[in-house]
Amino acid sequence: MGIRHRIAPLAAVLALAGGLAATAAAPALAAQPASGKTTGTAAADGTYLYFNKNQSNPGNSRLYLMKSVPNAKDTVLAKYRAGSGDGGPNGKDECASSQGWLPNGTYQVLAHDAHYNGGDLGVNGKVIHVEDKVCENGRTTRAELFVHSEMWPEGSQASPRPGQDNPYRWEGSDDYRSLGCIKLKPADIDNLFTKAGRYGWPDELKVVS
């Protein structure tokens, strides 16, 4: 969600953007799992997500859908602009819960859902849910982590709110900001779901910077 205007209580904002500390209260979106389960390790010729964080502009990072190729260079199936972190002073601190971008490392993809319903205060629509990750300080766990966009559960856009940021409507580059999750614009997450359905759903997310 964008952070130009605060239109909801803090708990609602945390639920919308992800990246909570494990000690924080579980938001509404944690009440139900995403429907498409993904288990096990990636096959040698399977697919995975690769997120390359942009040190100069975290909101202009890149997310790739990759195909593993045994004994050869992996193939890029799709490439998207993506963001992670709130863009503020702690936006590149992976241990800053609800502010910083995702920690580097490999994450298991837990599930995906084309019509996720996190409730009125949660993440909705197309989501890919990844496992929690302990950051570099060894103490802080980043939790409730998703690849998502801004939309209603059925995929539609909310009505505009003049002078306000609407967390269920994509309004521009500020919407690449998050509290930890990876965010894509709606057209790109639609394309990612189409490509993953065609080439196979990724089992892992690899995050680098």
Question: Domain for residue 173, yes or no?
Answer: yes
Backbone phi, psi, residue 63, to 5°: -115, 130
Query: Total structural domains in the chain?
Result: 1
Question: Domain for residue 90, yes or no?
Answer: yes
Question: Domain for residue 85, yes or no?
Answer: yes
Check: CB of residue 104 under 8 Å from CB of residue 51: no
Summarised one tens digit per residue, pLDDT across range 140-199 is: 999 999 999 999 999 999 999 988 889 999 999 999 999 899 999 999 999 999 999 999
- pLDDT-derived band of residue 40, with 50, 70 and 90 as boundaries? very low
- pLDDT-derived band of residue 34, with 50, 70 and 90 as boundaries? low
Check: CB of residue 147 under 8 Å from CB of residue 128: yes
- pLDDT-derived band of residue 67, with 50, 70 and 90 as boundaries? very high
Question: Domain for residue 160, yes or no?
Answer: yes
**CA pair distance 92, 135, nearest whole angstrom:** 12
Summarised one tens digit per residue, pLDDT across range 94-115 is: 999 999 999 999 999 999 999 9
Q: Enumerate residues 6+ apart whose C-beta is below 8 A from 69.
A: 45, 75
Summarised one tens digit per residue, pLDDT across range 48-61 is: 999 999 999 999 99
CATH of the domain at 149: 2.40.440.10
- pLDDT (average), residues 70-94: 97
Give the structural domain span for 155: 10-24+39-208
Question: Domain for residue 86, yes or no?
Answer: yes
**CA pair distance 111, 91, nearest whole angstrom:** 26
Question: Domain for residue 61, yes or no?
Answer: yes
Question: Domain for residue 65, yes or no?
Answer: yes
* Percentage above 70 pLDDT, the chain: 79
